[in-house]
Structure 1
Amino acid sequence: MNAFFRKKSIEQLQRDGAKNTGLNRVLGLWQLTAIGLGGIIGVAIFVLIGVAAAEHSGPAVILSFIIAGLASAR
């Protein structure tokens, strides 16, 4: 259980943060905004498909998901 409760010291965290990882920041404001909007819209689409499938397809919910997936793949 000790492995779950291990903590790093502040000094260790500062040393880790000061290391150069070789990664550059390339995403700007517009790219991050587009990613956020895409995530929100994507979740909304799946929620609406799930609600429609549950209310209108009865026990064939799996079949309706397959049909919706094929329709959205085109």
Structure 2
Amino acid sequence: MLLPSLHEGDPGAEDVLTTRSDGDGDDFTEGQPLGEVQVDTVGPEVPAPAAGTIDLQAAEDEVVRRGGPIARLR
């Protein structure tokens, strides 16, 4: 799963993953928030695109390039 581009601007810009799910191996349902991303002054949630188990690839407060990996779904 890649960090979505949540607003217009430089496609190579970076955002901060401010919160994330509880941990690797957590089960989740489609649409359940996987984390929040700090975009300028707004922190929208990033929903799960499908149900399954998450393997986290970005830590809380980690700066992630838009389109970069934040989790793997299985």
Report TM bin, short chain. Answer: under 0.3
Question: Larger strand proportion, structure 1 or 2?
Answer: 2
Structure possessing the higher relative contact order (Cα contacts under 8 Å, 6 or more residues apart):
2
**TM-score calculated relative to the size of structure 1:** 0.19
